[in-house]
């Protein structure tokens, strides 16, 4: 009986010494978020002072690597943008629960949680593009000059745009409508310089743009929609530019100003005539 009790105590002691692997909480809710290849790995919960997190990542089937910003950290996120250099590859990551920075441990294994697989080329969101409008002299053609969004990817110290990465796969979807209309039309273009032709002369148009990558799965094909910009037609009738109330107010203001000027002029002339008449009556008659 004493032998059995001693054996149990030894086993418990061994487990407590070598089993510290189970003393730290595992990371939970591990997710990737990525826009224009700026990629953040995040998880929960925030660690206490008793432990920290280390992130290891690898290309599928490759050796595990570490980002020096994400070793024994007390944060719950890791920016891996500069580490995921092979944008057409797929990655996975492990979040290890380890002792805090500056402490040592005899353990060689720590609790870890594996992330979902992440493929930058297929999974990163495409941000809002920006563009400028040029109205041609014929008033029926408008050119949109789209600026391809920049990414977090660099090559030879040059920051790449989404056009640099997706090349001919990148298209732009243009949504447009007459400024006073709610009916929206759509066209697809492969260039960043987009010429909208056969528009109605004398009409102002509103445009918005979003990137489109047809090779992706359906829920990842379209990027974020840009802000809306409208053209301005200098020949547009005044009744289309301003409401009747605004026009009536403007006319009334002009009439009031004219009336005030006339009133001041009449008063001034009346006073001047009185002054002249008074001066004439005060002069004595000359001898004949």
Render pLDDT for 65-100 as a digit per residue (tens, 0 to 9).
999 999 999 999 999 999 999 999 999 999 999 999
Render pLDDT for 144-182 as a digit per residue (tens, 0 to 9).
999 999 999 999 999 999 999 999 999 999 999 998 888
The last residue of one of the domains, among 56, 88, 123, is: 123
pTM score, two decimals? 0.72
Residue 279 placed within a domain? no
Extended beta strands in the chain, E state: 28-35, 38-44, 52-59, 65-66, 77-79, 91-98, 112-114, 130-135, 142-147, 150-155, 158-161, 171-178, 185-189, 193-196, 205-212, 229-230
pLDDT band, residue 48 (cuts 50/70/90) = very high
Asked if 27 and 115 count as a contact pair (C-beta separation under 8 A), the reply is no
Residue 262 placed within a domain? no
- β-pairing, 185-189 vs 171-178, is antiparallel
Question: By mean pLDDT, which of 198-202, 206-210, 229-233, 234-238 is the weakest?
Answer: 234-238
The pLDDT value recorded for residue 5 is 43
Average pLDDT over residues 102-114: 80
The pLDDT value recorded for residue 282 is 57
Which whole-number Å values give the CA distances from 91 to 80, 229, 248, in the listed order?
A: 11, 38, 66
Residue 261 placed within a domain? no
pLDDT band, residue 281 (cuts 50/70/90) = low
If one counts the domains in the chain, the total is 2
The pLDDT value recorded for residue 234 is 58
Task: Clarify whether residues 115 and 158 are in a common domain.
Answer: no
SS3 category, 143: strand
Asked if 186 and 174 count as a contact pair (C-beta separation under 8 A), the reply is yes
Of 99, 46, 96, which Cα lies nearest the Cα of 74?
A: 46
How far is Cα 172 from Cα 192, in angstroms, rounded to an integer?
A: 7
Question: By mean pLDDT, which of 46-60, 96-110, 128-142 is the weakest?
Answer: 96-110
Task: Clarify whether residues 115 and 200 are in a common domain.
Answer: no
The last residue of one of the domains, among 91, 123, 155, is: 123
Which residues, 6 or more positions from 210, have their beta carbon under 8 angstroms from its beta carbon? 126, 128, 129, 172, 173, 175, 222, 223, 224, 225, 226
Average pLDDT over residues 202-218: 95
Asked if 127 and 35 count as a contact pair (C-beta separation under 8 A), the reply is yes
Listing from the earlier edge strand, what are the strands of the sheet with 77-79?
28-35, 38-44, 77-79
Average pLDDT over residues 53-71: 93
Dihedral, 115, 120, 121, 122 alpha carbons, nearest 10? 40
CATH classification of the domain holding 143: 2.60.40.10
Question: By mean pLDDT, which of 16-30, 69-83, 193-207 is the weakest?
Answer: 16-30
Q: Which domain holds residue 233?
A: 130-241
Neighbour count for residue 103 (Cβ, 10 Å): 11
């Amino acid at each position: 009986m004493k032998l059995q009790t001693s054996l149990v105590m030894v086993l418990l002691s061994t487990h407590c010494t070598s089993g510290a692997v189970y003393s730290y909480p595992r990371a939970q809710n591990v997710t990737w978020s990525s826009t224009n290849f700026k990629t953040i790995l995040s998880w929960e919960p925030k660690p206490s002072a008793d432990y920290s997190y280390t992130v290891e990542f690898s290309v599928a089937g490759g050796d595990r690597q570490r980002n020096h910003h994400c070793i024994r950290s007390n944060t719950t996120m890791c920016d891996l943008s500069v580490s995921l250099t092979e944008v057409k590859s797929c990655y996975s990551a492990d979040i290890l629960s380890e002792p805090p920075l500056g402490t040592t441990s005899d353990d060689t294994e720590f609790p870890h949680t594996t992330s979902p697989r992440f493929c930058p080329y297929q999974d990163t969101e495409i941000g809002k593009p920006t563009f400028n409008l040029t109205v041609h002299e014929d008033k029926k053609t408008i050119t949109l000059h789209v600026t391809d969004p920049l990414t977090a990817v660099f090559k030879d110290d040059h920051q790449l745009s989404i056009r640099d990465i997706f090349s001919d796969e990148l298209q732009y979807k243009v949504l447009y409508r007459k400024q006073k209309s709610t009916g929206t039309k759509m066209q697809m273009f492969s260039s960043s310089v987009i010429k909208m032709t056969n528009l109605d002369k004398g009409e102002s148009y509103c445009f918005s743009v979003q990137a489109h990558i047809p090779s992706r799965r359906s829920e990842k094909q379209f990027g974020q929609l840009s802000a809306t910009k409208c053209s301005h037609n200098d020949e547009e009738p005044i009744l289309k530019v301003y409401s009747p109330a605004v026009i009536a107010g403007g006319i009334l203001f002009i009439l009031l100003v004219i009336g005030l000027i006339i009133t001041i002029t009449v008063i001034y002339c009346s006073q001047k005539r009185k002054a002249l008449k008074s001066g004439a009556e005060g002069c004595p008659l000359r001898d004949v």
